[in-house]
Amino acid sequence: MNTPVAAALRFSLIFLVSAVAYADSAQWNLNPTSGDWNIATNWMPMAVPNGPTDIATFPFSNTTNVSISEDTEVNEIIFTSAATNPYSIRVNSGLTLTLSGTGITNNSAIAEFLFCDGPYNEPGQIPFTNSASAGNASITSYGSMQFLDNSSAGSADIENGPGGRMYFSNGATAGSANILNYATADMSFSDSSTAGNATILSYDGNFIEFTDSSTAGNATIRSLGKIYFDDSSDGGAAQIWIHPIAPGVGESGILFINTPDVTIGSIESDGYVFLGTNNLTVGSNNLDTTFSGVIAGSGSLTKIGFGTLVLELVNTRAGTYTGDTNINGGVLQIDGSISSNTFVNRGGTLAGSGSIKGNINDRGGMISPGDATGVPGVLKVTGNYTTWANHLAGGTLSIHIGGAAAGQMSVLNIHGNANLGGFLDPVLVNGFVPEVGQSFTFLKYASFTGFLRIRNPIFDDGRKRWSVSFGPTSAVLTVVKNLTRD
């Protein structure tokens, strides 16, 4: 039946379906009567976005200071390209704004702001749930921000203000957000959450806590406060600065609680690492870093990766760790002092001009006194030195020689016994070529057993050869004429 009445009925049904589909998804008015989110007349159509499928759209408006007056939930907040007058959406104390779907989408060319109020005993709350993302919003919170499920902080700029709390749990991630964690503000990662690729600056008087199976991921973290690792949490490949030097245990630094083994990408600066009885594995991001603070406790240190970690640790700063040091990859350069038995394994190099108050066992790695770049130096060992003997993969002592004067060649100074059985690798640096008859003391000891085989003994275009002799308290390299030209 094609009558005016039927046509009108079909039109009414179409309008009704459309109204139902978009009933609570609305656009903020150009000239609303107030900045109250929860007043229908401020929206077009006149329906407050407040439901798990609702979308709140913010175009250009003459009123951009918006606040909720009751608990509100939306799937998505959209700032359109026309939103050139920046918005500030406020969540007052005791109220909650939940983003439970897409999260925040900012299509404008400027920063759009969310603000979450305190105080701690009755905070405003902004939970991101499901797969919601903070997008590229600018968020300041003195209340409680929660990233739950598979939600993400996106690429947002977030200030976790004094007294604020920021939680990541389940599979949530800090994404690539830039986060400022102010004094007395705290941040925690639990369950299987991750700091992702975020950049986090954390001031003193606060903490960042990783518990359960959470991880610091690939984050960059600069902390003047405390960083806790508990349960089976891990530092992933994170780049962590810890500073400043604290006056004692319980102050700023990295603390390990019930975590037998934690891996961190890299550590640097001059703070504290409190191992307890745990092992810290460092180097998974392959960066070259220097740490001049204190690693304390009876735990152990393991170096992995391809980068160089320079430790400028000194015992006068509340002591250093006493557990074993294992070098499994890259370079560990000791330019201060450690109180540790040190094991140099295949793929690892021990360098430095400091002091090791323990024994050295070279199990197929390399020992190179001085700077890892080849600058000669003296490495002191108060205990014994043992070199694993293997004709294919024995330990190697690399000695850099840049001249005959003191300080121009590497020296390994062993206060105990030198149990020799690996290789000696003399390396000429700075263009220096010694003359026949010159000799160089490269190894000192209280006693010795065994010998070292020279790698590449012939040099200077086949004209010269290295010869090694072992005396009662030192070993000497001497240049002799090579009588058989190869």
In a shared domain, residues 250 and 132 = no
In a shared domain, residues 281 and 351 = no
**199-209: average pLDDT:** 89
- Smallest CA-to-CA distance from 294 within 251, 261, 237 is with 251
Distance CA 421, CA 473 (A): 17
Distance CA 281, CA 303 (A): 6
The whole-number pLDDT of residue 391 equals 54
In a shared domain, residues 339 and 415 = yes
Domain that holds residue 253: 204-323
Q: Per DSSP, which regions of 24-131 are E strands?
A: 26-28, 43-44, 55-58, 65-67, 72-79, 88-91, 97-106, 113-116, 125-128
In a shared domain, residues 192 and 222 = no
Helix/strand/coil for 93: coil
Q: Is 56 a residue whose pLDDT tops 60? A: yes
In a shared domain, residues 15 and 115 = yes
- Smallest CA-to-CA distance from 378 within 361, 362, 356, 360 is with 356
**236-246: average pLDDT:** 83
- Smallest CA-to-CA distance from 444 within 415, 469, 410, 424 is with 415
The whole-number pLDDT of residue 96 equals 98
Distance CA 155, CA 181 (A): 16
Of all residues in the chain, what percent carry a pLDDT higher than 90?
A: 78
The whole-number pLDDT of residue 394 equals 75
- Two structure tokens written together for 409: 């060649």
In a shared domain, residues 306 and 215 = yes
The whole-number pLDDT of residue 459 equals 96
In a shared domain, residues 329 and 181 = no
The string of pLDDT tens digits covering residues 269-321 is 888 888 889 999 999 999 999 998 889 889 999 999 999 999 987 644 444 78
How high is the mean pLDDT of the chain?
A: 90
In a shared domain, residues 332 and 469 = yes
Q: Say which range, 214-218, 406-410, 466-470, has the weakest mean pLDDT.
A: 406-410
Question: CA–CA distance from 18 to each of 12, 254, 327 (Å)?
Answer: 10, 56, 67
Beta strands 417-420 and 97-106 are unpaired
Could you tell me which residue, 24 or 477, shows the higher pLDDT?
A: 477
Could you tell me which residue, 4 or 265, shows the higher pLDDT?
A: 265
In a shared domain, residues 338 and 423 = yes
The string of pLDDT tens digits covering residues 449-459 is 999 999 999 99
What kind and span of H or E run contains 330? strand 330-334
In a shared domain, residues 314 and 331 = no
In a shared domain, residues 232 and 183 = no
Cross-sheet strand order for the sheet of 458-459 = 337-338, 355-356, 378-381, 411-414, 439-444, 474-481, 464-470, 458-459
- Two structure tokens written together for 284: 């998974």
In a shared domain, residues 402 and 308 = no
Which span out of 2-16, 140-154, 248-262 was modeled with the highest average pLDDT? 140-154
Q: Say which range, 17-21, 191-195, 299-303, 308-312, has the weakest mean pLDDT.
A: 17-21
Q: Say which range, 3-17, 196-210, 366-380, has the weakest mean pLDDT.
A: 3-17
pTM comes to: 0.89
Asked if 286 and 260 touch (Cβ cutoff 8 Å), the reply is no
Total number of domains in the chain: 3
Asked if 224 and 245 touch (Cβ cutoff 8 Å), the reply is no
